[in-house]
A = this chain, B = another copy of it.
Amino acid sequence: MIDTVKIAKALSDPIRYKMMLMLAQSEEGCCPIPGEDDQRPGLCNCEFMSALGMIQSRVSYHMKELVDAGLVKEEPRGKWKMYFINTKTLRQYMEQLTQDFAL
């Protein structure tokens, strides 16, 4: 079962919302591993650091919040960690809102 309040909390920070937008809009992955052809969308920490002007530990902290809420999936990829948006959770969140509030 989905924790609506927790998801709302994860979405309630402007930085985290921007991160989610970045993930949703990322067309091609950053930090591709040479020799591998997997170019799935997804971003690594460094992208958020440069795009949002944040230090590394701050990015890491917010990413953890998003992952804990189930909004983002992560996958180690070489020496980087790639992040992907988890649209399933977002859809479940909206479904729950629809039910809870009879929309």
Contact = CB atoms under 8 A, between A and B. Distances in A.
Interface in A10-34: 11-14, 17, 20-21, 24
A80 B3 CA distance: 33
A5 B14 contact: yes
A90 B85 contact: no
Contacts of A91: 103
A52 interface: no
Interface of A: 4-5, 8-9, 11-14, 17, 20-21, 24, 85, 87, 90-91, 93-94, 97-98, 100-103
26 contacts: A4-B17, A5-B11, A5-B12, A5-B13, A5-B14, A5-B17, A8-B8, A8-B9, A8-B11, A8-B12, A8-B17, A11-B12, A12-B12, A20-B101, A21-B100, A21-B101, A24-B101, A87-B101, A87-B102, A87-B103, A90-B97, A90-B101, A90-B103, A93-B97, A94-B94, A94-B98
